[in-house]
Amino acid sequence: MSTRQIDPNRISEDFWREGFVHLPAFFDAASMDHLNGLIENHFGQNPAFEHSDEFIEKSATEVVPWFPQREGVGDFDEVENDADFRAITQAILDDGWESQYCMVMFSKAGTSGQAWHQDCPPEGSFYNLNRLVYTSDIVDEIGGQVVVKPRSHKAGELTPGDPHGDMAGQVVLSPKKGDVLFLHGFCWHRVLPIKRRHRFSTNFRSASAGAPEDLTDICVYRNMRFQFSTSEVVVDRTAANGV
């Protein structure tokens, strides 16, 4: 039985006001250490990038993904099935929400992190919910902090500009082991460069009722829209906006 003192409805209110909510020490250290060990063993120290050179250069994003549940690694189901985790998801997304997939995101030391982006085009009525779980600390010495533009989930399309440039009003988050970050897919966010060692987080991504399976196939960056299924730039935002 959970001993957490949480109010899913209050958390949902905070989420919808800001576009994100950060919950410290949500999961216990022992379960996070176990998952962290699985992640370390899977990736090693120098996994190969899976995206094209064009994507890496233009998106300023260097991340290697792993989908453990698709490979039959059931250890991550404990997080997915946690009653409080699901209750908060239900409060945010309402009836009919669905889990999409569990994706571990690995960043090598010395890489650029993730540029400003939105996970799906903001002009649609459907959106995804990122449920980011941290199995190790994100600290200044390593880098990889999460940067979020509060209330940008209601601001429309991400503005064109420097893929990694600071924005007025941005918030820098340094999640610790066991923390959870609920983040709206329309919310403008990025990850700072990785200074030392490697960095990873695990996204138990979900979506609102009726959302198409390919909801996050097109990602919005400050200089382009990129379609992952075809590995191509579908909108070049640099020429149109003089970036």
| pLDDT at residue 58 is higher than 50 | no
Place of tokens 């176990």: 34
CATH number of 8-241: 2.60.120.620
**In the chain, domain spans:** 8-241
H or E stretch at 32: helix 29-43
| pLDDT at residue 62 is higher than 70 | no
Model pLDDT, residue 157: 96
H or E stretch at 43: helix 29-43
| pLDDT at residue 50 is higher than 90 | no
Q: Average per-residue pLDDT in the chain?
A: 88
Model pLDDT, residue 1: 37
Tens-place pLDDT, residues 86-136: 999 999 999 999 999 999 988 887 788 889 999 999 998 899 999 999 999
Query: Residue 78 and residue 91: Cα distance in Å, rounded?
Result: 20
Average pLDDT over residues 204-222: 93
CA angle 48, 143, 163 (to 5 degrees): 75
Estimate to the nearest angstrom the gap between the alpha carbon of 123 and the chain centroid. 20
Model pLDDT, residue 102: 95
Q: What is the pTM of this model?
A: 0.89
**Phi/psi at 47 (nearest 5 deg)?**
-70, 155
